[in-house]
Amino acid sequence: MNKIILEIRAGAGGDEAAIFAADLAKMYQKYAAKNGWGFNIIDFSQTSLNGYKTLIAEIFTSGEKGENLYEIFKNEAGVHRVQRIPRTEKAGRVHTSTASVAVIPEVAEKEIQINSQDLEISFFRSSGPGGQNVNKVETAVRILHKPSGIVVSSQAGRSQHANRETAMNVLRAKLYEQKQIEEQIKLGAIRREQIGAAERAEKIRTYNFPQDRITDHRIGKKFHNIESILDGELEPIVKAFAKQNN
């Protein structure tokens, strides 16, 4: 199976940043659906306005069409900036907010060996909008990998076993990514962190609603019909990067 881990986090901008993070999550979910790929939410922290402080999901395909999901999604990694009048704005002023996206390929179990003694595993109840506990049974799983300090959670599955397995997959992917970064540092090829500090200036793409324009600052291209793109019509941007890379 061909699978990636997608992490979306609200950045600068309060409630509006969380709403924008949710918009990005819906965009990727709808884009995946249009292509017949699976989209499974692993963990999330939701706000009362249906925004997301954080959302972690996996996108997967059987791979029969030969698609490489990491190649398709890797250019989404970075800080996305939105300029629009928020639903919470009464004076009609345009606000600027950010959300960061990280894309991590899932790795096979044999590639990263994890010692069970290095893990601290705890269970909690799944939460819904506004942090409400919606599950009376503690099926959600949180895993701390003590040597690295990495913490992962999974709460979308219906059982502790399913959530633990999913959380281990995320942990494995994060440890692999960390290993890759360390190797690059050793080789002197220190890469800039994908998501920076999610500040407004550290942007890869700007979604300007008043001008109905999306600008990708890395390839200098502009795209129109923001609502259509946020509705999952991401293909023009994906194709623009594929053309650039070729």
Convert the pLDDT of each residue in 113-153 to its tens digit: 888 899 999 888 876 555 555 555 678 899 999 999 999 99
Assign 126 to helix, strand or coil. Answer: coil
pLDDT band at 208 (very low <50, low <70, confident <90, very high): very high
Give residue limits of the domains in the chain.
2-107+194-245, 109-186
Name the helix (H) or strand (E) containing 71. Answer: helix 69-73
Report the sign of the C-alpha dihedral through residues 138, 143, 149, 151, in that order.
negative
Give the pLDDT confidence score for residue 136 in this predicted structure: 56
Predicted local distance difference test score (pLDDT) of residue 89: 77
The Cα-based distances of 19 to 10, 52, 107, 186 in angstroms read 8, 6, 31, 39
**pLDDT tier for residue 190 given thresholds of 50, 70 and 90:** very low
**Of the listed ranges 12-26, 106-120, 181-195, the one predicted with least confidence:** 181-195
What pLDDT, on a 0 to 100 scale, did the predictor assign at position 191? Answer: 43
Token pair 């919470």 is found at 88
Question: What is the predicted pLDDT for the residue at 68?
Answer: 87
Average of per-residue pLDDT across 23-39: 95
- Of the two residues 120 and 67, the one the predictor is more confident about is 120
Q: Collect all residues with Cβ–Cβ distance below 8 Å to 237 and sequence separation of at least 6.
A: 75, 214, 216, 223, 229
Report in angstroms the alpha-carbon separations of 178 from 146, 154, 181, 212: 14, 20, 5, 38
Least confident of 105-109, 169-173, 187-191: 187-191
- Which pLDDT value is given to residue 160? 86
Contact 123, 141 (CB under 8 A): yes
Pick the CATH number of 2-107+194-245 from 3.30.70.1660, 1.20.150.20, 1.10.10.10, 3.40.50.880: 3.30.70.1660
**Among 8-12, 39-43, 54-58, 88-92, the least confident range:** 88-92
CATH 3.30.160.20 for domain 109-186: yes
Residue 96: the pLDDT is 93
* pLDDT tops 60 at residue 54: yes
Q: pLDDT exceeding 90 applies to what percent of the chain?
A: 45
